[in-house]
Amino acid sequence: MDQKAVFEAIASEREYQDRKWGAPSEHPHEVGGWLTLMAVHLRRAQDAWAGANSDTEALAALRKVLAVGVACGEQHGLRGRARAEPASQRMRGDGYQRTPSSA
């Protein structure tokens, strides 16, 4: 599945959530409330993965987690990462080792 299809799946979940609950402006939460909702749904995804013979249920629950995060961003704003911002050496996997002095 390509990135566009993943984003479309998340968007379809957001549309569903808006039909079910209304837009974030109709049921606002503090950021911590959104994080709690995400944690609840993430736990459901973890439980679904641990108890299933396939990833289907876990991925459906993960779609909800991601869509709830999008709703939080809609309500509170979410800045993008600058495209020119370099990736850390650690993330690039070029052998960078974190030491106490670099923490």
- Whether 75 has a pLDDT exceeding 90, the answer reads yes
Q: Which of 70, 64, 19, 22 has its CA nearest to residue 45?
A: 64
The model scores a pTM over 0.85: no
pLDDT, one tens digit per residue, over 3-43 is 999 999 999 999 999 999 999 999 999 999 999 999 999 99
Q: Is the dihedral of CA 52, 53, 55, 60 positive or negative?
A: negative
The pLDDT value recorded for residue 30 is 97
Cβ atoms within 10 Å, residue 10: 18
- Whether 94 has a pLDDT exceeding 80, the answer reads no
H/E run at residue 95:
none
- Whether 73 has a pLDDT exceeding 80, the answer reads yes
- Whether 99 has a pLDDT exceeding 60, the answer reads no
Phi-psi label, residue 95: left if phi above 0, alpha if psi -120 to 50, beta otherwise? left
